[in-house]
Each structure stands twice: as structure tokens, then as C-alpha cells.
Amino acid sequence: MSQLFDDTETALSASASRVAARAGNKGQQTKAAIVDAALGLATQAGLEGLSIGAVAELMRMSKSGVFAHFGSREELQISVVREYHERFEQEVFYPALQAPRGLPRLRALFANWMRRTSIEIDAGCIYISGAVEFDDRSGPVHDALSQSVRIWLDAMRRAIEQAQQQGHLDTAVDAGQILFEIHGLILALHYEARFLKNPASVDRALQGFDNTLARHGAAQGL
């Protein structure tokens, strides 16, 4: 009889574990769907345009249902920043690693960045809109945004330094200066294309990148 009770208890415990796992998976799926919807909303309205109520309406959920997954509007905003950063890495950074170190990888990074930027001319960029919204504010959302941007710029800087090590770019030039000029092209592209509707902005950004490489290139590298 004791063995029967033990076996029954074990079976009930295993069943409860499976139910909990299914509930956990469903909960994660729901949370991911909420973040996806919130990201779409944030690209149009900005991070400050996010609210528990707006996302709940978009998801056709109750406010309490959305709140249960995040606990606060701030946590929802941070989750959106992290999701945006992860997608940015998957689309821009990781594919470029297939290119050889040096100028080929730097060109691949910029090409992927430009491709992403061209799409975001219509959809909006969390990094740029977020910088405008949180540039003079402190707190976790500002910190999450700042950290994400710094991680990406550090990756670009490493690619520039590798190009210098490979003899493709002049080692006498500060890598930070080259990075500043390349980053400036992306920011100018957003302003010209999204705000001024300049149809030549993409071509000018690409030409600017080539000009930067030519100006800072080592003779044997270019």
C-alpha cells in the first residue's frame, strides 16, 4: 500500500510539473507577443508613447493581464529596448562576422547598418528616437538605451581597429574619430531622409562612407 501511495504521489508530482511547464511556456509566449506588439508601437510613437493601456488594447488584453507580465511601464520600455537590441544584433552584427576581418567586415557592418536604417526611415529607430526622449533624463530606461548603443559602437570600433591591424586603414588615425564620422553618416541619413525627405540621402551616406575610408585608408589597404 505504501508503494502505491508513493507511486501515485510521484505520478501526481510529474503531472503537476508538466502542467506548470506548459503554463510557463504559454506565459513566455504571451510575454514575447506583448513585447513584439510594444516594439511595433514604440517605433511609431517612441518609448514615451508606450503605456500598459495602449499595449493592452493592441493585444486585446486587459491592463491587468499586461501588467502581470511586466509590473510597470518602465519595465515594459526596458523589455522593448532589449528586444530591439537583440534584433539589431541578429540583422546587423552577426551576419557581418562571416566576412574576413579588416575592411571587408567593416564594409559588411556598415552595409547591414545602412540596410536596417533604410527600413527604419519609415518605421523609426528606437536608438535615435530614444536618445531624443531620454537624453536629459536619468533612470533605468536611459541606462538600457545607452548601454545598447555603446555595445554596438564598441563593436564598430573593434572592426575599425582590426582594419587598422590588417593594414587596411591608417594606424596613425584615431579609431574613435573614424567611428565618429561613420556614426555621423547614419544620424545624418535619418535626419535627411525621415525629416527632410531628401531622396538622395541614402546615396550620399554611402558616398560619405567611401570618402571616409579613402581619407583614412592605408595605401596598401586601399
Chain center to CA of 10: 45
Q: Give the C-alpha separation, 174 to 140, whole Å.
A: 32
SS3 of residue 39 by DSSP: helix
The rounded average pLDDT for each run of 10 residues, N- to C-terminus, in the chain (222 residues) is 47 46 69 93 89 90 89 93 95 96 96 89 84 89 95 97 96 97 94 90 94 83 46
Does this model's pTM top 0.85? My answer is no
What residue segments make up the domains of the chain, in order of their start? Answer: 2-216
**Cα dihedral 84, 71, 137, 46 in deg (nearest 10):** 40
Look at residue 16 in the predicted model and tell me its pLDDT: 47
Q: What is the CA radius of gyration of the chain?
A: 23
Residue 189 cell numbers, joined: 541619413
CA distance to 34, 135, 189, 190, per residue, from 186 (Å): 29, 18, 5, 6
Q: For position 14, what pLDDT does the model report? A: 52
Look at residue 118 in the predicted model and tell me its pLDDT.
84
pLDDT at 31: 92
- CA dist list (Å): 130 to 26, 135, 209: 30, 8, 25
- For residue 119, the model assigns a pLDDT of 83
C-alpha–C-alpha distance, residues 135 and 129, integer Å: 10
Residue-level pLDDT at 195: 87
The superfamily (CATH) of domain 2-216 is: Tetracycline Repressor, domain 2 (1.10.357.10)
